[in-house]
Structure 1
Amino acid sequence: MPLADEFEREVTGIRVSLTDRCNFDCVYCHNEGLGDTRGPMDPQDDEMTTDEVVRILEVVHEFGVEKVKFTGGEPMLRQDLEEIIRRVPDGMEVSLTTNGTFLPGRATGLADAGLDRVNVSQDALDPDDFAQLTQSGAYERVIEGVEAALAAGLAPVKLNMVVFEPTAGYVPEMVDHVAVHDGLQLQLIEYMPEIAGHPEWAIDIDRVHNWLTERADRIEHREMHDRRRYFVSDPEGQPTADLTDGDSDGPAAGEGMVEVVDPVENPHFCANCHRVRVTHDGKFKGCLNRHDDHRSMGEMTREEIRATFRDTVANRVPYYGEYMVKEDGEWVINDDYIDRPLPTADD
């Protein structure tokens, strides 16, 4: 039976950061809410060991956690990634978010180890634009990585694109790209200046929704997170928008799927959040936006992990309206909320 927080949200998923190292230096990176902490590319002493990662997964699986997503930094800098995936508890869905540069040569091994699906960060299709955004010249390697993932049977491959002023102009090309390439889907992720900085880069995400409404053949509304999925075909076709509720079986033959992830000022998004996070140095984290609730698991005995997990779930926060409030047009932390006593699982 999954643990539920005080807002009746059951925790069924976990995101585990395996490292804060990365071979890219993306201009928008918030490193899973930790800020820009990238350092040397060599393995760091504070990173969790293989056994510690597996032990955490085994414990949270006891509490009904059904899904794990491995993140970073760049998680494929961990040479033990295949072993970690192989040792994930039976029945737990395994996904990975990566920049894709290490997928050539490793995608098949990851799939054989038990990886179910992969998200690849890709914000532009032009090599020069890509280099400017990522501070990397690895564009061709990323394209090869996507192809390797598809060849390994990890379809659909989701391309993650952060939408902000430097990338907004690339959206139509990326949408056309997934419309004509089988096995690809696109996630357009709203930029979150309250954790990534540069508020001047934020755009009105309705601009994207309005354009996609005109571009799409059909539209699916997911009530739980108040998200929309846009199904698009070859741009030479004649799209007609058709808004329906509920989940579909996914894109039909000849269609691509585009989903907008828009958490800012979307109360449904956080109200239906069912995941917690683990930092690369072994701390539970109840919310992406919070920096005040990193809870150490001590020596990571099973009992310490259980107790910390219970406390983390008990202390999860609601939507920004309570933890974060807007003052003069900017998100600021609500001090009244922070000053309240932290609840524990026994409260």
Structure 2
Amino acid sequence: MLTDDFGREVTGVRVSLTDRCNFDCVYCHNEGLGDTRGPMDPRENEMSADDVVRFLEVAAEFGVDAVKFTGGEPMLRQDLEEIIARTPDSMEVSLTTNGTFLPGRAEALLEAGLERVNVSQDALDREAFAAVTQSGAYDRVLEGVDAALEAGLDPVKLNMVVFEKTAGYVPGMVEHVAENDGLQLQLIEYMPELTGKPEWAIDIQRVHDWLAERADEIQHREMHDRKRYWIGGPKGEGGMVEIVDPVENPTFCANCHRVRVTHEGYLKGCLNRNDDLKSMGEMTKPEIREAFREVVANRVPYYGEYMVRNGDGEWEINDEYVDTYADVDA
């Protein structure tokens, strides 16, 4: 297993299969690359199924035991089931999707080897959902969640980005997962450094405090420095709500064990950075191995190393690190 200079073993990878999407969410950062989405038709720059599988086989050589397929919307890939079926058996396979294509495909995904699914659902309100996603697919997403549950892909984790436009719908979503078996909720802190619009950000601690007052049990996950709140019953009985709060959180970054892969076949050591993108060339196994080792070696915690606090307590880019990295790259 590869370990970076900060002692973090790389145990998981997130692989973007496309930057195409049938939604146009106002908070989208496209795996940190910015809004690069193009036409809906398949694109020549997307990694082929063979490329993806070849990368995963190399990652498995290094002890990576989990892969999450993302996008864009990964279910726009008609070969998704093939890719999952060909993923090394040693890897846990999960998927992040907007859910609109799960009806009719959920069972095939399960049979191919998919183990877990996250579905983006930012509100239990049709108008609010349409405003955030800029789509009219509210009912289709609900059908997709039901299809995943019926296929046996439970628990289904609902992803909700918490910011000015969705914060008022958090109580309803929490109640929803507490009352429906097989659902969990992941509240994701809005990241203005990737999406702009800092005025949309809210104090995520307020959400923590609100949940803490209502939780029957609170669990702390040390690996990711996350808290899980069990609402409507203790662990295993109530609904599970987890908060992902990476913004200005050095502890979160210090516990990151994941490398990302863009749809074009570039390795990415950190969600927030694009100055460390590393091409895997023609995607031969020797090239992939070399690139993977290099990206892991160059990983740093975003907050606490790449970003440091100045004399006023504000976060700013660590010029010393950037200059050192530029010298290595030159």
Deviation per CA, 1:211-266: give whole Å up to 9, x if none.
00111111112233321110011xxxxx8xxxxxxxxxx8323x100001111122
Alpha-carbon distance in structure 2 between the residues aligned to 1:208 and 1:311: 38
Give the equivalent residue in structure 1 for 2:256: 273
**Correspondence 1:299 to 2:298:** no
Q: Secondary structure at the match of 1:276?
A: strand
Give the equivalent residue in structure 1 for 2:236: 252
Residue type at the aligned position of 1:149: A
**Correspondence 1:340 to 2:324:** yes
Give the C-alpha shift of residue 47 in structure 1: 0.2
Alpha-carbon distance in structure 2 between the residues aligned to 1:183 and 1:92: 23
C-alpha distance 331-22 of structure 1, shift in aligned 2 (>3 A)? farther
More displaced stretch, 320-329 vs 223-232: 320-329
RMSD over equivalenced CA pairs, Å? 1.6
Give the equivalent residue in structure 2 for 1:38: 37
More displaced stretch, 311-320 vs 273-282: 311-320
Q: Secondary structure at the match of 1:339?
A: helix
Alpha-carbon distance in structure 2 between the residues aligned to 1:308 and 1:337: 20
Alpha-carbon distance in structure 1 between the residues aligned to 2:326 and 2:63: 24
More displaced stretch, 326-335 vs 112-121: 326-335
C-alpha distance 90-224 of structure 1, shift in aligned 2 (>3 A)? closer
Give the C-alpha shift of residue 297 in structure 1: 0.8
Residue type at the aligned position of 1:293: D
Give the equivalent residue in structure 1 for 2:113: 114
Give the equivalent residue in structure 2 for 1:229: 228
Q: How does 1:63-212 map to 2 (within 5 A)?
A: 63-212=62-211
Give the C-alpha shift of residue 339 in structure 1: 0.8
Give the equivalent residue in structure 2 for 1:324: 307
Give the C-alpha shift of residue 330 in structure 1: 6.4
Deviation per CA, 1:274-332: give whole Å up to 9, x if none.
11000000000000011101100111110000000000000001241221245678654
CA contact (8 A) 1:315 1:343 kept: no
Query: Could you tell me the TM-score, scaled by structure 2's length?
Result: 0.96
Deviation per CA, 1:9-37: give whole Å up to 9, x if none.
00010000000000000000000000011
Aligned residues: 327
Residue type at the aligned position of 1:4: T
**Correspondence 1:7 to 2:10:** no
Q: Secondary structure at the match of 1:194?
A: helix
Give the equivalent residue in structure 2 for 1:220: 219
CA contact (8 A) 2:15 2:262 kept: yes
Give the C-alpha shift of residue 268 in structure 1: 1.8
Give the equivalent residue in structure 2 for 1:246: none
Alpha-carbon distance in structure 2 between the residues aligned to 1:103 and 1:177: 20
Q: Secondary structure at the match of 2:220?
A: strand
CA contact (8 A) 2:272 2:302 kept: no
CA contact (8 A) 1:68 1:94 kept: yes
CA contact (8 A) 1:38 1:73 kept: yes
CA contact (8 A) 1:161 1:187 kept: yes
Alpha-carbon distance in structure 1 between the residues aligned to 2:154 and 2:17: 23
Alpha-carbon distance in structure 2 between the residues aligned to 1:331 and 1:53: 36
CA contact (8 A) 1:311 1:343 kept: no
Q: Which runs of 5+ in 2 are unaligned?
A: none
Alpha-carbon distance in structure 2 between the residues aligned to 1:305 and 1:252: 41
C-alpha distance 161-203 of structure 1, shift in aligned 2 (>3 A)? same
Deviation per CA, 1:171-229: give whole Å up to 9, x if none.
00000000000000000011111111111111111100110011111111223332111
Residue type at the aligned position of 1:27: V
CA contact (8 A) 1:19 1:72 kept: yes
CA contact (8 A) 1:159 1:186 kept: yes
Give the equivalent residue in structure 2 for 1:288: 271
Give the equivalent residue in structure 1 for 2:295: 312
Residue type at the aligned position of 2:221: R
Residue type at the aligned position of 1:157: V
Alpha-carbon distance in structure 2 between the residues aligned to 1:34 and 1:220: 32
Alpha-carbon distance in structure 2 between the residues aligned to 1:38 and 1:268: 32
Q: Secondary structure at the match of 1:322?
A: coil
Q: Secondary structure at the match of 1:277?
A: strand
